[in-house]
Every structure is written in C-alpha cells, then in structure tokens.
Amino acid sequence: MRHTISVLVENKFGVLARVAGLFSARGYNIASLAVSETLDPGVSYMTIVVEAKDEKVLEQINKQLNKLIDVITVTDFTKREYIDRELVLAKINYTSKDKPKLEVIFNKFVGKIVQHKADTAIVEAVGDQHQIKALLEELGKFGIKELVRTGKLAIE
C-alpha cells in the first residue's frame, strides 16, 4: 500500500541524500519524491510516497526519519485528511482537428495545451492521482510520446 509522508528538513546540501539513503539502506521503495523550499529558505518540504506493506513498516520509516539530525518534523498523512496534487507534462500526437476533443477533456480536468508545433502538442495538467490516471487514459488515445510528472505534493 502506498503512503504519503511529508518531511520538513533543514535546507542544506546532503539532506536529500541522507533521507534517500535511509530508504535505500532498509529496502523501502520511494514511489515519488518532491522537494522544494518553504516560505523559510532555510527549510525544505519533502513529500514522499512510499510503498509500505503494513503499519509496522510505516512506523519504522517514521521513526528512522525522526532520528535524522536534519529532519524537523515528519507527518504521516495515512489517517489524516489532506489535499494532494501532481503536475503532469505530456507530449502527445496532435492535429488541429484534435483541439475540440482536447478542450472537452480539459473541461473535465485541470489542464491545457501549453505548446503545439507541427504534429505534436505539449499539455499540462494538475490533479490528484485518480484524476491524473483518468487524464492519462484519455490522452493515451492521442498517443503519448513523452511524459514527465512531479510526484505527489500534499498538504493538510
């Protein structure tokens, strides 16, 4: 089962390597990882989605993260209400006659065409993981040439 954890850390070099090393050393897979500065440039916010087969593994991850000296707080969103979003950029096959079809799709999802050249369009979309999955199924009908995702961002 996938769990979402946020970690406030000191914004110093090597912190990301120490957090990633913790997961690697214990054999925990990181499904997605997003890191950015907060309002305080000395503090960074990590959103980590991790595979944990049971509560004991998740508890162990939280305890190990809290032991790292650069970690300020750890929040496990597993049993909390929170908002999550992910940004997707996709390069798809495109012709001018596809525009109305894409507009219908983007009326259902938060997205738009950000560039189109010749037979290709780059689209962006934001949504939770279910919305992104549904959007990618729709975009798949056009033929996805390339895809990049930010990973989940979460806040309560």
Q: Are 65 and 17 in contact (CB under 8 A)?
A: no
pLDDT digits (tens, 9 = 90+) for 17-63: 999 999 999 889 999 999 999 999 999 999 999 988 888 888 999 99
Residue 150 banded pLDDT, cuts 50, 70, 90: very high
Encode 45-71: b = buried (16+ Cβ within 10 Å), e = exposed: bbbbbbebeeeebbeebbebbeebebb
Which is it for strands 83-93 and 30-37: parallel, antiparallel or unpaired?
A: unpaired
Sheet holding 43-51, edge to edge: 30-37, 43-51, 2-10, 71-76
Rounded to an integer, what distance in angstroms lies between the CA atom of residue 69 and that of residue 93? 48
Which pTM does this prediction carry?
A: 0.85
Query: Can you read off the two tokens belonging to residue 5?
Result: 């954890």
